[in-house]
Amino acid sequence: MSATATNLGAAAPSDHGAGSSHGHDKTGTVIFGFWIFLMSDLIAFSLFLATYADAEWHGIANGPSPHELFSLGLPTIETMSLLISTFTFGICTLGMKYGASMERTIKWLVITLIFGAIFLGIELYEFHEFWSEGNTPQVSGFLTAYYSLVGLHGLHVTSGIIWGILLIVQMKTMGYSDLVKSRLMRLGLFWHMLDIVWIALFTKIYLMGVLS
């Protein structure tokens, strides 16, 4: 943690609890706290995923099966755009770590958000397609679980995009400060977690669904 903070140019690395409650590395601690929050968030995803795994087996009822519903084309493009966005976010935060200018950081953040928006657009398009064929979440337990799991992820991505836009505004208004940089670091962690979660979702829902 302290390495991250040093590279942000925040507090000098000091041994934890060095006396005053603020004598230690505040940025590193906030990021540590955010990691713990992400663990909690990951529990939510895993429960929805477990529910999905049950519903795609037992919850078909009169609705379509995963095999009938899914194809791999669009989801693959969707996945690629999210993977690219996580790569560009990596460039963004790495650049920040090694002293990139604010303009450069914002540029890479904007590119990231655009790829995030593409991901989201494809997801919404797919929802729309299913929906217009009559495959709404009200049809079966399987569709309920599908829309909820993918929708939960989509809501996370949406809030990540809003968060990113707000951070661009904050960089412009509050300056390229350690505080805002620390927030960007946390958005980065959030974004990468969503990417990892999506890998699991893509594998379970689409790859295994089509194969089933």
* C-beta separation of 164 from 89 below 8 A: no
DSSP string for residues in 9-33: T-SPP--TT-SSTTSS-HHHHHHHH
Whole-angstrom Cα distance, residue 202 to residue 209? 9
Whole-angstrom Cα distance, residue 42 to residue 56? 21
The reply to whether 63 sits near other proteins by the rule CB under 8 A is yes
Q: Which is nearer to other proteins, 7 or 148 (CB)?
A: 148
Q: From 46, 117, 106, select the one nearest 84 (Cα to Cα).
A: 117
Piece in contact with other proteins (CB under 8 A), picked from 41-49, 71-79, 89-97, 110-118: 41-49
Piece in contact with other proteins (CB under 8 A), picked from 124-132, 173-181, 187-195, 199-207: 173-181
Whole-angstrom Cα distance, residue 172 to residue 69? 45
The set of residues, in sequence order, having a beta carbon less than 8 Å from that of 200 and lying 6+ positions away, is 45, 49
The reply to whether 67 sits near other proteins by the rule CB under 8 A is no
Q: Which is nearer to other proteins, 75 or 141 (CB)?
A: 141
The residue count of the chain comes to 212
Tokens of 196: 């990892």
Taking CB under 8 A as the criterion, the residue among 79, 81, 88, 140 binding other proteins is: 140
Shortest Cβ distance from residue 77 to other proteins (Å)?
28
The reply to whether 155 sits near other proteins by the rule CB under 8 A is no
Taking CB under 8 A as the criterion, the residue among 27, 105, 112, 144 binding other proteins is: 144
Taking CB under 8 A as the criterion, the residue among 69, 96, 122, 145 binding other proteins is: 145
Residues making contact with other proteins (CB under 8 A): 15-24, 29-30, 32-33, 36-37, 39-41, 43-44, 47-48, 51, 54-55, 58-63, 137-145, 148, 166, 170, 173-174, 179, 183
